[in-house]
Amino acid sequence: MRRTIRGVVLALVSTIGLAVAGGLTVARPATAQIVLKSAYGEASLAGPAKARGAVVWSHGRSVDSEDSEAPTPLYMKAMRDAGWDVYRLDRMRVSDTLPNSSRALAGYSEALKAKGYRRVALTGQSFGAFISLIAAGQTNAIDAIIATAPAAFGNFTEAFDSYRENAAQLWPILREVRRARVMMFFFHGDDFDPGGRAEPARNILTQRGLSSLIVDQPSLLTGHGAANTGLFVRRFGACIVRFAEEPPTPNDPPCDETWGRSPSAEMLQAALPANASGSARGNDATTTLRPYMGMWYGSYINGREVALSVEKAEGDAVYADYVLGAGMESDQPAERVRRKGRIENGELVFDEKGRNILRYRLRPDGRVAASWLDKDGHGRLDTVLRRVN
């Protein structure tokens, strides 16, 4: 039977406070400091009558910092741009427990449905993924869950004795999900992931008769925070929006988009010079440079395409065009710059004074390991480029 908002309130604690966000009033514990608010400001909310639904993102939990200060991940902008009202559940860690936060989230979900939203979806990272799944076992108001890197019991390095509970405790939680369809992402190299969670999760949800989509260790997306990257949005943003709106069908496009595997039309036009095949002239760099000649393509974890068109060598100098595709934000247009470099110990290096450093090294498989290093030493991006014919 569907719980009322009053029932949620009584289940929280006996000491009651009020949280108000965008016209939504929900009772909550005065000491819990669990607040629902608009992720992009009140002006971004279309309201129940116009929005395609309401989606609530829940952040992770750290033992030494407030994750409520963490930025809303980039993929939530895909939800906003698709017509969803995007909220986030901010929780102070002093009272951020699985029972407290999941009950509050269930209550907010019911309030959103009562307000008139046709769909309510929950998205969550790590601890936020756990509380989203638990909330889906406490109310029928939730239509879809998108859980990225679910974890609530520490990682391999700092909590070896308990981190396996990130798997063991996940199974009973999934068995309690009432009606929501469930999408989950597990990433390679995630120190919080005991491994082997995809197939059991898929089996449990199938046995429950719940629609699900489990994405296990997608290529090039590694680590616990992989879902916070631009590359994750480029590849899975559209699929997440589809899943939030409707159950998946066999006729859906592939969930993992092909972005970044071959140059976009815009990138090809920007990156391919008339003499892209190039020529190596001179005596010093000719032999070493020849394998680098032509156009190389890849993408960075921040969701920007990258290409290097190596044109020619003159003596010890190597000339190339470095092209960076448009970024995730409107103020990140595509860029193309001419670079002058050299061959150093078999590597192609561009390190002109006052400019970011580019380094390229041929791999045994015929691809190129590429590194971008901030000129001030504040950042680094690594990727692998493949030749474009």
23 has pLDDT over 80: no
159 has pLDDT over 60: yes
Separation between Cα atoms, residue 147 and residue 151, nearest integer Å? 10
CATH of 34-245, one of 3.90.950.10, 3.30.910.20, 3.10.20.70, 3.40.50.1820: 3.40.50.1820
pTM: 0.85
369 has pLDDT over 70: yes
Per-residue model confidence (pLDDT) at position 273: 57
276 has pLDDT over 70: no
3 has pLDDT over 80: no
Per-residue model confidence (pLDDT) at position 278: 46
Per-residue model confidence (pLDDT) at position 308: 95
265-275+284-387 is a CATH 3.40.30.10 domain: no
- Rounding to the nearest 10 degrees, give the CA dihedral for residues 231, 232, 237, 243: 160
Show me where the domains of the chain are located. Answer: 34-245, 265-275+284-387
List pLDDT tens digits, range 324-345: 999 988 889 999 999 999 999 9
Contact 213, 201 (CB under 8 A): no
255 has pLDDT over 50: yes
- Rounding to the nearest 10 degrees, give the CA dihedral for residues 93, 95, 100, 102: -10
Task: Report strand pairing: 144-148 vs 24-29.
Answer: unpaired
Separation between Cα atoms, residue 346 and residue 125, nearest integer Å? 42
| Confidence band for 267, pLDDT divided at 50, 70 and 90 | confident
Interaxial angle between packed helices 98-115 and 127-135, expressed in degrees from 0 to 180 and rounded to the nearest 10: 60
Question: Which among 258, 242, 313 is positioned nearest to 280, based on CA atoms?
Answer: 313
Per-residue model confidence (pLDDT) at position 389: 78
